[in-house]
Amino acid sequence: MRSTDWHLTEDVDGFLDRAGDFLLSRPALHNTPLTTIEKLRTRRADPASGAETSVFFGRLESGGEVHAVCYRVPSHRLTLTALSPGQADALAAHLTGLGHSLSGVTADHDTATAFAEAWQRHAGPTPVRSWRGRLYRLGTLAPPEPCPEGRGRLAGERDHGQLIRWCGEFMADVGEFPLIDAGSWTGSRFADKHFTFWETPDGAPVSVAGSTSMIGGMVRVDPVYTPAHLRGLGYAGAVTVEVGRAALAAGATDVVLFTNPANSTSNALYQRLGYVPVADFTGYDFARDEVPDAGEGEERSAGSASQASSGTRQELRMPATSV
């Protein structure tokens, strides 16, 4: 396909009219584009959101059929669905020809690598790999045996302070910055998540898991966090199962999460719970002079749940978990 087969727009609604069915055709694989574009759409619809015009959306279309999409978030990071090396090169040539700048790229490993190499050829910057993530999709849910005593409980308004503290600790664990506080919560990637606690029989919360709203039958678990002194007791597995069970009961057909592929503990845990590997993803940085916008938290943490107690930089640090 030629570079001229790429169609770029700043109109998110028009983009979704043409490319929405393509994204929904593989909701697990396209989980991050689905949630991020919906967040960008919501912000564009809110005049008070201050949404930036640096965002654009692209679709690769031929013969009236969409074959791939891309989008650039306010920090100028590009996200791609699967492309061949030739398609990646054509897109890099098209974007440089239009004068677009990029701070990095995120996609499945082969696509991200092909585009990063093409961007270096066409634009010059040397790509630096800054994140790796493994996407899992829930197959048959398998609760942990034995399950720790306690129960799951949806977080409510009274839990707001606890969520801010634990999400801040989670970010510090995985190297995601800037850290959040009460003043920055609303603009963070956590603000629109739904949270569930696992609490002991005496009502003490010991672990928490977040999840996205359902889009196209897909729910992403992100983040999962257990304070360091409570890890290794099965709480993270219990709360992850609780969130997965609730998603399935609500009608989800795809429950997904991301892990750090180098963390054997978290990968083993989620596979025991019934999650099956789908694909590996990679992020490259092209420049480091951009400050991530709050709306990019979804991108930079893209999805995850998981990486257990060892931290890794995110999305380019996709969400991880502290198990």
pLDDT digits (tens, 9 = 90+) for 189-218: 999 999 999 999 999 999 999 999 999 999
CA distance 101 to 287: 10
CA distance 200 to 87: 52
pLDDT digits (tens, 9 = 90+) for 156-193: 999 999 999 999 999 999 888 899 999 999 989 999 99
pLDDT digits (tens, 9 = 90+) for 75-130: 999 999 999 999 999 999 999 999 999 999 999 999 999 999 999 999 999 999 99
Two tokens, residue 232: 């290794």
Residues sharing a CB contact under 8 Å with residue 171, sequence separation 6 or more, in sequence order: 177, 179, 180
Report whether 78 contacts 70 (CB < 8 A).
yes
Residue 181 amino acid letter: D
The whole-model pTM stands at 0.89
